[in-house]
Amino acid sequence: MEKRNEKVHVLVVPYPAQGHINPMIQFCKRLINHNGIKCTLALTLHLSKTITPTATATPNIIFETISDGCDRAGFSEAGTSEIYLEKLRENGSRTLEELIVKLNSTGNPVDVIIYDGFLPWALDVGKRFGLLGVLFFTQTCSVNAIYYHVHQGNLKLPLTQSTVSLPGLPLLLDSETPSYVHVYGDYPGFSHTVVNQFSNIDKADWVLFNSFYDMEKEVLDWARKLWRRVITIGPTLPSLYLDNRLKDDTDYDINLFNPDSSSCLNWLNTKPPNSVVYVSFGSMADLTPAQIAEIASGLEDTNQFFIWVVRSSESAKLPENFKPEKGLVVAWCPQLQVLANPSTGCFVTHCGFNSVIEAMSLGVGIVAVPQWSDQITNGKFVEEVWGIGIRAKKDVNGIVRREVLRDCIKEVMEGDRGREIGKNLLKWKKLSKEAIDEGGSSDKNIDEFCKSIINHHLSL
């Protein structure tokens, strides 16, 4: 009876990267908003030492640590993706087990483990303790469906046909599948990771997608025939930008880079509506100096105002003579606030899924310049399925040239296709908000999930 009076204790284990942590921490906030649930978020030791102080803005989430075996410098300490991912599996499994033992000794033991799809070993650890296991996919259901078919042998690698036809998905060119699929043999560590997400999925009690039903109806219907309790819980933006029901939920609260907020926003606020091009390739992209030079020239050719995020590790690649008169180059910025600002009229992005769903939910047209992984498939959907942007085509050397970037930006901001994109964005902005509003599809799913884990807890 003493345990039944305690809250349900949910342990959340993200893959240690910004784009994976953000949606999972936002889901934690939604869970905590339901009475009777508390969340512990397990970060790697290295990340826990590098996050900015905004984490203190989430006082209701308990932060704990596990080890990836690279406690000093994280991924860069390992040298290769294969070495890092193996260290993460070995050390993560061991220290996650130690963490659960520690938490169980506090009098409010863990009931549920929500784990990133990249970490199937976390489910194995949780099941050894009799926990409910919840698989959280941070990428789209469409992308993960492709990986599932590779795992099952339905889609054999290397690809031998120019098109790929799979249940619930539009017809894809081979080059429109994720890079781990169509560029066979590159990044073997990550290729194994994305396919291995399905190695123990049948043991998961729930499967969650950071999406909403209207985005991916057909493939979600397909997934629900395969796995238990498949639900959408997105979009996982801070509440301020959607339903505004969570008090003080204005940011993701964990930043692995220090945003230059004041200079970005002060500069933006001086510009006319829909006049600024925002350019960001996320936290991991590694662009060549040649590609960066083309972007620099293309932005100048547009004669538009622009904010360009060039991480400190990439800044040396900027052309020496690049001194923009109408642009602001920053090492990092508060992306949500930039996208929500009325001055922002276009988003040049790598098409990481978080960036795509932020643009969709905030109504900003996209110029898609995908780099690798799921971004290539996301770019296909941005242009041809959701109709919220244009893909900038690469040349035979894999580079988006200045004139291509310039023309895509001008089309999104001023052209006929841009006007059609604007109409589509109005629709998607409305649907994304409705999904998480009280009584919306994702809101109902989250409510059902919370009731289920609370009832499970009370039955113990």
Whether 186 and 308 share a structural domain? no
Q: Please, are residues 438 and 243 in contact by the beta-carbon 8 Å criterion?
A: yes
CATH number, position 338? 3.40.50.2000
Q: Residue 221 is encoded by which pair of tokens?
A: 């219907």
pLDDT (tens digit, 9 = 90+) per residue, 297-315?
999 999 999 999 999 889 9
Q: Which helix (H) or strand (E) holds 391?
A: strand 389-391
> How much is the average pLDDT of 414-426?
97
Q: Give the model's pLDDT for residue 5.
A: 52
Q: Please, are residues 234 and 212 in contact by the beta-carbon 8 Å criterion?
A: yes
Percent pLDDT > 70 in the chain is 98
Q: Give the model's pLDDT for residue 258.
A: 77
Whether 177 and 293 share a structural domain? no
In angstroms, the CA 174 to CA 185 distance is: 15
Q: Which helix (H) or strand (E) holds 196?
A: helix 188-196
Whether 281 and 185 share a structural domain? no
Q: Give the model's pLDDT for residue 2.
A: 43
Average pLDDT across the chain, whole number: 94
In angstroms, the CA 236 to CA 234 distance is: 5
Confidence of residue 52 (pLDDT cuts 50, 70, 90): low
pLDDT (tens digit, 9 = 90+) per residue, 127-179?
999 999 999 999 999 999 999 999 999 999 999 999 999 999 999 999 999 99
Whether 412 and 306 share a structural domain? yes
For the chain, the domain total comes to 2
Q: Supply the pTM of this predicted model.
A: 0.95
pLDDT (tens digit, 9 = 90+) per residue, 253-291?
887 787 778 889 999 999 999 999 999 998 888 899 999
Whether 102 and 145 share a structural domain? yes
> How much is the average pLDDT of 39-49?
94
Above 50 in pLDDT, residue 364?
A: yes
In angstroms, the CA 222 to CA 281 distance is: 32
Whether 95 and 60 share a structural domain? yes
Whether 224 and 328 share a structural domain? no
Above 70 in pLDDT, residue 53?
A: no
Q: Which helix (H) or strand (E) holds 273?
A: none
Whether 247 and 270 share a structural domain? no
Peptide bond into 158 cis (omega under 30): yes
> How much is the average pLDDT of 229-258?
92
- Token match 């800044």: residue? 315
Confidence of residue 59 (pLDDT cuts 50, 70, 90): confident
Whether 247 and 292 share a structural domain? no
In angstroms, the CA 176 to CA 182 distance is: 8
Whether 227 and 352 share a structural domain? no
Whether 192 and 291 share a structural domain? no
Above 50 in pLDDT, residue 202?
A: yes
Domain around 32: 3-253+437-459
Positions marked active-site: 20, 116
* Range in 55-59, 117-121, 342-346 the model is least confident about: 55-59
In angstroms, the CA 458 to CA 106 distance is: 18
Whether 236 and 278 share a structural domain? no
Q: Give the model's pLDDT for residue 395.
A: 96
Q: Residue 1 is encoded by which pair of tokens?
A: 């009876």
Residue 8 bridge partners (DSSP): 37
